Amino acid sequence: MHSYNGNTGEGNGFTFHDFNAHDLLNTLRRAVSFYKQPEIWESIVKNAMTGTIVGCNRQNSIVIFMQGLSEYK
């Protein structure tokens, strides 16, 4: 998995390095901010659907897909 980069449009998810509540909350806020921008979110989803997502042993990761968030609304 590669964390989404808003400057380049690359990435297929959202990651955080330290396993703690603060980093998780910041990552979720970042993901939600992109979700509220449909064109950007569609790009992230497309990247996630066309790429290979491999678990990372050294980095805690979160992938948030449109379907899951749309159910949250």
41 occurs within a structural domain: yes
2 occurs within a structural domain: no
Count of domains forming the chain? 1
Closest CA to 46 of 70, 16, 13, 18: 13
68 occurs within a structural domain: yes
| Better pLDDT: 9 or 54 | 9
pTM > 0.85: no
| pLDDT of res. 58 | 38
Neighbours of 56 (CB within 10 A): 11
35 occurs within a structural domain: yes
8 occurs within a structural domain: no
Q: Tell me: pLDDT of 69 over 80.
A: no
Are the C-beta atoms of 44 and 30 separated by less than 8 Å?
A: no
Spatial CB neighbours of 23, under 8 Å, sequence gap ≥ 6: 16, 17
60 occurs within a structural domain: yes
Helical pair 21-35 and 38-50, crossing angle rounded to 10 deg: 110
Per the structure, the complete domain to which residue 55 belongs is given by: 14-72
Q: pLDDT, tens digit, for every residue of 14-36?
A: 888 888 889 888 988 999 999 99
7 occurs within a structural domain: no
